[in-house]
Structure 1
Amino acid sequence: MSKIEFIVEKTDTGFSAYASDDSLPIGTSGDDVNELKTNIVDAYNSYAEIKDLDQITIDDVIITLDVKQFFEYYKIINASALGEKIGMGKTLISQYVNGHKKPGPKQVDRILSGVRQLGQELSTLNLTIS
């Protein structure tokens, strides 16, 4: 089975999601991204049961957030420090994070590559007791 993309939007009470494929009339909500993923799988599988489609798991779901929502949810990531790491000026990344400016596809890829590289670096670290 191919992955199914869901567009996620921040709401006042959590998050909502809908399938990016217009032929899939599936939407749901959740208090946080983890709950949202579970609810997406449940909503899709309910639809799939009616339409006699294959069931999915969380591994089959792609979550898509815009840059502003990403940094709102993952506040632990310092956008200015990330911008410095990827060679993006503080003013520019701040405009993206605050929603004053929308990044183009190349800038989104640049930010996402930086986030993924940071994740890889962190996953290989060990800490020691001094």
Structure 2
Amino acid sequence: MGAVKRTLTVIIEKSSTGFSAYAKEIDGLATVGSSISELKENFNEVLQYHVEYLQEQGEIINVNDFEILYEIDLEQVFEYLTVINKTAFAENYANINQSLFRQYTKGLAPLSSEKMVQISKGLHKLADELSDLTLV
């Protein structure tokens, strides 16, 4: 039976130059990037350095022992993904009232965990549809 993975929750925040991120569970494990893709690459590098340090301290551990969960708040997602039409997304992917959805994305209306899951599923559905396409 395999070892239990350690979960790292990485909080992504928009900055004036791109994005920053930090692990909730490990103080000082942080990085930046001009895009989310770059940020994730940089975080993997920072995690590798952390694992090497732990190995030097005698721990038997490797990078694959970690499961990384990236979290970003709703307002920042749609600020970053400006190409997504909020009205069309609300209607076609999240099944949420368009006006209420715009309020959610601006932080003007409280967002329940149930609605957050609904929106997250909508984003994943959109991503799945896009990943299935090949342009010709």
Question: TM-score by structure 1 length?
Answer: 0.83
Q: CA separation in 2, counterparts of 1:114 and 1:10? A: 22
Other-structure match for 1:17: 21
Match of 2:123 in 1: 115
Cα separation, 1, equivalents of 2:44 and 2:22: 12
Counterpart code for 1:36: L
Superposition deviation, residue 100 in structure 1: 1.9
Deviations, residues 74-104 of structure 1 (Å, cap 9, x unaligned): 1222111111123211111111112223422
Give the % identical residues.
30
Letter in 1 for 2:33: G
Unaligned runs of 5+ in 1: none
Aligned length, in residue pairs: 125
For the aligned residue pairs, the C-alpha RMSD in angstroms reads 2.2
Q: 1:34 to 1:123 in 2, by over 3 A?
A: closer
Q: Match of 1:18, SS?
A: strand
Measure, in 1, the Cα distance between the counterparts of 2:39 and 2:135. Answer: 32
Contact in 2 for aligned 1:16/1:27 (Cα 8 Å): yes
Aligned to 2:72: 65
- Structure 2: gaps spanning 5 or more residues: 56-60
1:66 maps to a residue whose letter is: D
For residues 15-61 of structure 1, give each alpha carbon's deviation from its aligned partner in whole angstroms, at most 9, with x where no partner exists.
1111122xx1211111110110011011111111111231259x943
Distance 1:51 1:67, change over 3 A: same
Distance 1:39 1:126 in 2: 29
8 A contact 1:79–1:94 mirrored in 2:
yes
**How far does residue 3 in structure 1 lie from its aligned partner after superposition?**
4.8
Question: TM (normalized to structure 2)?
Answer: 0.79
